[in-house]
Chains A and B, each alone.
Chain A
Amino acid sequence: MPQQTRKIYPYVLLVLVILVIFHYLGVTRFIENGARFVLIPVSTKIYQTGSKIKENFKFLNLDNETKEKYNNCIDVEENFNVIEVKTRLLEEENLELKKMLEFKEEMELKLLPARVIGKSIDSIEQNLIINQGKKSGIEIGQPVIVKNGILIGKISKVENDTSQIRLINDNQSRIASTILNKNKSLGVVEGGFGISLRMKYIPRNETILIGEQIITSGLEIDMPRGLLIGTVAVVENEAYKPFQQAVLNPATDLSHLTIVSVLIN
């Protein structure tokens, strides 16, 4: 092996360590900002083009009128699901308040709209990059929604002007959730199964039906109750396992999101 190549290895490793230290000290900020200035507009265009291609691919065999009707139906259905969840929660809340005399604390939540400008470079992860960051008040762990009530993910990384969202179908995503069934079954919705989700740790003795809606349970910090996650598609209940699990369909298409909202407390 060439002597020169072997000699530079320690220097390369030293440079790597120095670069990482300089990043955390803020020394390389101007270089990173310069690179962002060049790369982010290009990646935004690439992402938007990719979203349009994926959207149009669905309509290869449909005429214009049918395409329009199809899009309207999807919007109406998603909005309907959100309204249905909110109505049910309001009904339950109303009943509880009538039964008990107690103070109900309300969280002041603000919606911050953001545009999706790209995807994370790791294809194994399901992370999106948005054009709002620390300067807009975004913090790690804040939920991200679309259409006023459908949860799509949580903020996983924050920079000054950009942030990253870990989508609910990412393999590291876990959301505390509730099924809107008779038992109000609690469980954890996990991603990492392609386009579908799985809700795990549901008690075996509780009944789950296909089509039932899953919402956030509110048991996590910064995650309000009532955000729609998806609907039950398949129930897996095996006698030798202590818990049952459900395969879910997400409430919205996570593959080409363009405008999202971050819930800021």
Chain B
Amino acid sequence: MSLLKKIIKFLLLAFLITLLHILAVSLFPYPLNHINVAVSLLLLIFIITNKEGVIWLAVLVGILLEIFASVTYGINLISLVVSLIFTNWLSMNTFTHRSVHMVFITGIIGTVMYRLIFSTLIFFVSVLNQTDFYLFKGNLLADMGLEILLTGSTLFIFYIISIRLLSYLRSDYLSENRRIKL
């Protein structure tokens, strides 16, 4: 029964993250619609819970987002999961100091990795299909930069809010290992 509950919670969380992402893209005005809500929420959950199950959550969110993706199936999914794995590895090995500044940098790096892998995969697919992919055209790079900055900032804000909420709700959160360093 507890396994069933876990699976249901897992599915509901994945659907919620997907719907929040769709909401941001459809409802928010420019430039706020450039926030990559899926990446920022998944990174937030990674940073707060520190559990490997979040990677599977990312796989499920990637599958759901593929329904609305305009690129070849798999590009969005692979970019999302691989960028989160890389960011997780970074936060475990390099950014071990869990300050809010590191969280912001983690958000930036996570989104940069996402876009880098995304663009690389699109490039290879366009080479295989013999179609064109214009990376240096129009405002594409500027839009990517905006997305990276806004997603990092959103993660930063979400992290501060969630840490404040958790500190009020969980008395064991003020233990030495989990204290925020500002």
Contact = CB atoms under 8 A, between A and B. Distances in A.
Interface of A: 1-2, 4-5, 8-9, 12-13, 15-16, 19-20, 23-24, 31-32, 35-36, 38-40, 42-43, 46-47, 49-50, 53-54, 118-125, 127, 129, 156-157, 164, 166, 171-172, 174, 190-194, 198
A12 B68 CA distance: 22
Contact of B70 (A9, A53, A127): A127
Interface size class of B (residues with CB under 8 A): 35 or more
B39 to A, nearest CB: 11
Task: Return the 8 tightest CB-CB contacts between A and B, nearest first.
Answer: A192-B138, A20-B74, A1-B92, A127-B70, A121-B68, A120-B70, A171-B140, A5-B52
A156 B88 contact: no
Q: Decide if the interface of chain B is mainly helix, strand, loop or mixed.
A: helix
Given A4-B52, A118-B22, A16 B92 contact: no
Given A16-B59, A46-B27, A122-B69, 20 more contacts: A9-B55, A19-B59, A19-B74, A20-B73, A32-B67, A39-B67, A43-B26, A49-B27, A118-B26, A118-B68, A120-B25, A120-B68, A120-B69, A121-B65, A121-B68, A121-B69, A123-B36, A124-B34, A156-B70, A190-B137
B25 A121 contact: yes
28 contacts: A2-B52, A5-B92, A16-B77, A19-B59, A20-B74, A20-B77, A32-B63, A32-B67, A36-B67, A39-B15, A39-B22, A39-B68, A42-B22, A43-B68, A53-B27, A119-B25, A121-B76, A122-B76, A123-B34, A124-B34, A124-B144, A156-B70, A171-B134, A171-B137, A171-B140, A192-B137, A192-B138, A192-B140
Interface in B72-99: 73-74, 76-78, 81-82, 85, 88-89, 92-93
Contacts of A24: 73
Contact of B22 (A8, A20, A43, A194): A43
Given A20-B74, A47-B26, A123 B33 contact: yes
B18 interface: yes
Nearest to B55: A12
A191 B70 contact: no
Interface of B: 15, 18-19, 21-27, 29, 33-36, 38, 52, 55-56, 59, 63-71, 73-74, 76-78, 81-82, 85, 88-89, 92-93, 132-134, 137-140, 143-144, 147
